[in-house]
Amino acid sequence: MKSKLPLITEILDSNRIKYSNDCALVEIDPGKNSRKTLTWEEFSSFSGRVASNLMINGIKKGDCVVHLMMNCLEWLPVYFGILKTGGLAVPINFRFMAQTIKNCINLVEAKAVFFDETFIGRLDEIYDDLKEQNILFVFTGSKEIMPFYGVHISDFLSADEKKDLVDSIEIKPEDDAAMYFTSGTTGDPKAVLLTHDNLSYACEVEHKHHSQTHEDVFLCIPPLYHTGAKMHWFGSLKSGGKGVVLKGTKPRDIIEAVSRESVSIVWLLVPWAHDILVAIENKELDIKDYDLSRWRLMHMGAQPVPESLIRKWEAVFPHHEYDTNYGLTEASGPGCVHLGMDNLDKIGSIGIPGYGWKFQIVYRNMEPVPRGEPGELIVKGRGVMKEYYKNREATEKTIKDGWLRTGDIARVDKDGFIWLLDRKKDVIITGGENIFPAEIEDFILSHPKVHDVAVIGTPDKRLGELVTAIVQPKKGNDISEEEIIEFCSKIPRYRRPRIVHFDYVPRNPTGKIEKPKLRKKFTGIYSSFKRDFNDY
């Protein structure tokens, strides 16, 4: 039987009582040289006013409210306000184009949309198609550029918080809470439906893994529409610690924020960690100029983390604890597998099952593979999504007897640690051999002149596919195709790149390489090659 966990909205209201005047959130915008704050009292009150005013405007339990906002101080209070109504918060990727946004709004039958200035142009494109749906539009940007439709958030929140109204809504752990759209890196975005219990458990897992205290300060850089950043912040929510929302990813901005806000925990994506190390190496950044004494933990995830990168990080920041976090939107974000801060001898592995999670490595028919052999990673736990919303076929393919099929190829070593090899759809088959691009990418990234790299398969009549590397050199470094091929002579011949291109490596906001774009550019094929794996 499941233990009863507090809802995350209940944790917020508890923090309002315990830590009323303590700082809950900070927004730092380096471009505007600005800093804004909210106490736990102000955070909870803001979310309560969002909830009560939504309810006054007809939003009821089970209704969907779309969240189209860039990271800012108000992002989380709006999110929690939606949850307090018993409605579903539906954050949407800020890169989605107008038609995709319209499709998302229509799929969830949204009753309200919170949006900022970033999205005015895209909503203008689709407003005529949406205006008959009686959607409440709430604009969160400057009043000076308020669009012709909707209401400004300051007017929307002019009414006081009606606590009795909000408290009248009974929310159960099994109730629907939020929908998150997948990134679409391997196909069209799907709406992942999470329950309140999923969110509560994500909070519990994060806190168990990283032991946040009230004194910890968490730096949040990735987009909050994604489960990764938000669920890592949940550890601060549980402990009542300060969270810092940084609107910028430049190395100097990150290090300055850590120093000025006495940050103790930072979750980075691979490109940002890499950029920090390059800036230090090039003497563009001298960490001796900053007070980083409280920074205790750097952890990473959202994509394969190169071992070479972490070894370099250890050399520069030897006092840091480190953790690799593996997760999926369908598993309520990060944490179903993690390295653990005590397992630095296993860097390169994604680790062991997270708190309360189970795993298996299986063949395509869901039968376990022998230890050490590659297969698909499947996970089971309290954080598994309820379903892909209105997509029964995809749900049944993905969830089997409670097991979530991740689509990732992995193996388990003799000590029980999981090593991620690659996405199933990204596996390259050349001459009948399965090749995992992530392993080659990790190797090439250790070249001192390489800034980033992506490895894809390009069609070949004889071998099926050829290993192809797209290399992005470090700024100011000249590097040749021959130099890359010579460097790769240290790896088995069949895994070496046969083709090398020099180009920019595109990544999405969560740091994942956008391989469909590269396949389209270099092969003319947008989606992953269709394969029918006998083994996987």
Q: Does residue 186 carry a pLDDT above 50? A: no
Nearest CA to 357 out of 341, 372, 339, 335 is that of 335
Task: Determine the pLDDT at residue 462.
Answer: 60
What pLDDT, on the 0 to 100 scale, is given for residue 529? 31
42 within a domain of the structure (yes/no): yes
Task: Assign residue 41 the CATH number of its domain.
Answer: 3.40.50.12780
Residue at 391 is within a domain: no
* Average pLDDT over every residue of 511-520: 79
The percent of residues in the chain predicted with pLDDT above 70, rounded, is 93
Provide the 3-class DSSP secondary structure of residue 392.
Answer: helix
220 close to 231: Cβ distance less than 8 angstroms: no
Name the nearest CA neighbour of 225 among 115, 107, 365.
Answer: 115
User: At which of 204, 232, 250 does a domain end?
Assistant: 204
User: What is the span of the domain harbouring residue 460?
Assistant: 431-523
Q: Is residue 235 part of a domain?
A: no
The residue to which tokens 């490595």 are assigned:
361
465 falls within a domain: yes
Check whether 534 has a pLDDT greater than 60. Answer: no
The pLDDT, as a whole number, for residue 408 is 86
* DSSP bridge pairs for 268: 300
Show which of 204, 223, 244 is a domain's final residue.
204
With respect to residue 386, please indicate whether it lies within any of the assigned structural domains. no
* Contact residues for 240 (Cβ-Cβ < 8 A; gap 6+): 15, 18, 19, 22, 24, 40, 214
Give the largest Cα separation in the chain, rounded.
71
Q: The tokens of 14 are what?
A: 């508890």
Q: Residue 108 domain-assigned?
A: yes
Tell me, yes or no, whether 264 lies in a domain: no
Per-residue confidence (pLDDT) for residue 407, from 0 to 100: 86
Contact 351, 337 (CB under 8 A): yes
* Residues in Cβ contact with 158 at an 8 Å cutoff, skipping those fewer than 6 apart: none
Task: From 162, 186, 204, give the residue that closes a domain.
Answer: 204
CATH number for the domain including 481?
Answer: 3.30.300.30
Name the most confidently modeled range: 35-44, 407-416, 443-452: 35-44
Q: Which two tokens stand for residue 162?
A: 């009606």
pLDDT tens digits for range 407-444 = 888 999 999 999 987 666 677 767 656 677 877 888 89
Condensed to tens digits (0 to 9), the pLDDT of residues 231-248 reads 999 999 999 999 999 999
Does residue 22 sit within a domain? no
Three-state SS annotation for 78-124? HHHHHHHCCCEEEECCCCCCHHHHHHHHHHHCCCEEEECHHHHHHHH
pLDDT in tens, 352-368: 999 999 999 999 889 99
- Total domain count, the chain: 2
> What's the pLDDT score for residue 16?
97
Q: Which of 83-97, 307-321, 366-380, 497-511 has the lowest mean pLDDT?
A: 497-511
- Band of pLDDT at residue 536, cut at 50, 70 and 90: very low
